Structure 1
Amino acid sequence: MKYKGLICAMITPLDENQNINPKATCELIDYLINKGVSGLFILGTNGECHVLTDDEKVEFAKIVVKHTNNRVPVFVGTGGNSTREVINLSKRMEEIGASALSIITPYFVPPTQNELIAHYKAIAESVNLPIMMYNMPGKTGINIEPESVRELAKVKNIVGIKDSSGKLDNMKAYLEVTKGEDFSVFSGSDSLILDILKAGGHGAVAATANFLAGIDIAIYDNFIKGDLEAAQKAQNSIEELRRILKLGTIPSVIKKAVVLNGIDVGPARFPVTQPTGEVLEEIKKVVENYKKEFNKDL
């Protein structure tokens, strides 16, 4: 089965003491599923995977899997630098009922393409869950090259890739080398949702959906219906949110937007701090403008 649609790169709600907040997590899950997302992608970049312990990741995944209750697939991030540690965490996530795994490339010391292929193959052999690779060269220092994707797409349970390179040509190359495979290519760059769909891609994993789920889904739905004008209008309308996301360290701004929209997902984990001053005022203004213009479409 090919995965497709608009999947939310879900934030991780925390309380005032920086601990996982189960209540807000469940509220956010219900909000996103009721809006119509095709899946939940947890413990990614905007999910603060890099500042959570493995035990916290398992704790959070248990909450999400249980509350989602098979309404949509739950993609759980288990990536890391050590193949052994990724395998151990992936097995734990399989035990608690994750639908699929999301595995970012190793980072800090970027491996060669051959090492990367061996890394993903070893993980795939250790679990039965579907695996979506996660390419984010701007943060990891390594790009999963198309020829590597060609080889890895032949592995039975490696079923797709989220590409956050921001390069449409890179995604098009992934589509080209995986023709005929049961393999999905998703944009991880929210600015390219419509572009990847036009190129033959299968959807997007979007962080903006935490606040603009209805608008992001409208990009996909209108494209599928053949209404490219409406799809483009929806694509253009997320740019104002994307602009202010750059005003703070990930994921402080998107978290504040969600809080202002009525779900108390709390702050980011330290050392990232909450927006204040002029930045906070700008976020408030943009959120209010979205509410006035789109209201129930958010």
Structure 2
Amino acid sequence: MKPEGIITAMVTPLDKTNQINLMATKKLVNHLIDKKVNGLFILGTNGEFQVLSELEKLRFAEMVINETNGRVPVYVGTGGNSTDQVIALSKEMTNLGADALSIITPYFVAPSEDELTKHYLMIAEEKTAPILLYNIPKNTGVDISHKTVAVLSRHQNIIGIKDSSGKIENIKGYLDGSKNEDFSVLSGSDSLILEALKIGATGAIAATSNVLTEIDVAIYQYWLEGEVEKAQMMQDSIEEFRRILKLGTIPSVLKAAITYQGIDVGKPRLPVQSLNAETLSEIAQTMDDYMENFK
């Protein structure tokens, strides 16, 4: 499989008792697929993987995989600090039917470049679904180097990288380092979707597509059709939503916006707090403006 197009970095719906919400999960999965996303990316940063138990991760992944039923690929986050634990969880997710695994770098303690390379290669040698590297240095304190990607891209079970560094130079470096391999580079920064496509990225793993699904999909579709000006208009239009995302801790604003659109995905888990009335009002106004301008 080739990771490409707009892949939604999906939230994890929770109910009023703070447990995974099966019905909301089904609604969100079907909504996104109906809006023509190219894949679902679960248990990532916006999926609150860091506050879910292993059992919850397995239950949620099983729900999403079963509901998706092969209509689009499902990328499942299995990353962590322990190589052995990542391998164990990756095998379980593979057995559940994950199409690919997203593996964030270890965090808190920064491994050396050699340690990081060996971490990924040991996981890739196991009998698991294909692996997508996940680089988000502002959260992990670890930045996957271009040199490391050049080495890892040669492994047949490592198929790409999601780069959330926010730096187009990083994406370019990954593309240069893997140019002779069957390896996909995807933007994890929603502001860079079109810019990344222009230099050779195959798509984006976009949190905004939980809400601005049609807009994000249009960026990619217009790009494929050679309608670069229209693609740029769509790209520019997401900036207002990206502005309000900064009004709360991830993924509080994103969850509130999805709920406002009609799928109650609940609140984030603590320590992330609920949003105040003023912020919720600004989110509602912004979403109303989008609905008015992009009917």
Structure 2 equivalent of residue 41 of structure 1:
41
Give, in angstroms, the shift of residue 277 of structure 1: 2.4
Q: For structure 2, list consecutive stretches of 5 or more residues without a partner in the other structure.
A: none
Structure 2 equivalent of residue 233 of structure 1:
233
Structure 1 equivalent of residue 84 of structure 2:
84
CA offset digits 1:177-212 (Å, max 9, x no partner): 111211000000000000000011100000000000
Whether 1:203 aligns to 2:203 is yes
Whether 1:160 aligns to 2:167 is no
Q: For structure 1, list consecutive stretches of 5 or more residues without a partner in the other structure.
A: none
Structure 2 equivalent of residue 50 of structure 1:
50
Query: Is the 2:161–2:185 Cα contact (8 Å) retained in structure 1?
Result: yes
**Matches of 1:282 and 1:224 in 2, distance apart?**
34
Structure 1 equivalent of residue 271 of structure 2:
271
CA offset digits 1:83-114 (Å, max 9, x no partner): 01101110110111111100000000110110
Query: Is the 2:90–2:128 Cα contact (8 Å) retained in structure 1?
Result: no
TM-score normalized with structure 1 length:
0.98
Give, in angstroms, the shift of residue 279 of structure 1: 1.1
CA offset digits 1:132-152 (Å, max 9, x no partner): 000000000011000100000
Give, in angstroms, the shift of residue 128 of structure 1: 3.1
Give, in angstroms, the shift of residue 16 of structure 1: 0.6
Over aligned residues, Cα RMSD in angstroms? 0.7
Structure 2 equivalent of residue 251 of structure 1:
251
CA offset digits 1:216-239 (Å, max 9, x no partner): 010000011000110000000100
**Matches of 1:121 and 1:17 in 2, distance apart?**
40
**Matches of 2:110 and 2:151 in 1, distance apart?**
19
Q: Equivalent residues in 2 for 1:91-130 (5 A)?
A: 91-130=91-130
Flag as ranges the 4+ runs of structure 1 deviating above 2 A.
none
Which one-letter code corresponds to 2:206 in the other structure? Answer: A
Query: Is the 1:90–1:127 Cα contact (8 Å) retained in structure 2?
Result: no
**Matches of 1:30 and 1:190 in 2, distance apart?**
22
Query: Aligned residues, how many?
Result: 295
Q: Equivalent residues in 2 for 1:133-148 (5 A)?
A: 133-148=133-148
Query: Is the 2:15–2:266 Cα contact (8 Å) retained in structure 1?
Result: yes
CA offset digits 1:242-277 (Å, max 9, x no partner): 000000000000000000000011111111122112
**Matches of 1:206 and 1:197 in 2, distance apart?**
13
Partner SS state of residue 212, structure 2: helix
**Matches of 2:180 and 2:251 in 1, distance apart?**
37
Which one-letter code corresponds to 2:12 in the other structure? Answer: T
Query: Is the 1:194–1:231 Cα contact (8 Å) retained in structure 2?
Result: yes
**Matches of 2:284 and 2:276 in 1, distance apart?**
11
Which one-letter code corresponds to 2:97 in the other structure? Answer: G
Whether 1:31 aligns to 2:19 is no
Identity among equivalent positions (%) equals: 56
Partner SS state of residue 128, structure 2: coil
**Matches of 1:2 and 1:87 in 2, distance apart?**
22
Query: Is the 2:39–2:72 Cα contact (8 Å) retained in structure 1?
Result: yes
**Matches of 1:76 and 1:293 in 2, distance apart?**
34
**Matches of 2:130 and 2:211 in 1, distance apart?**
28
**Matches of 1:189 and 1:204 in 2, distance apart?**
8
Q: Equivalent residues in 2 for 1:3-14 (5 A)?
A: 3-14=3-14
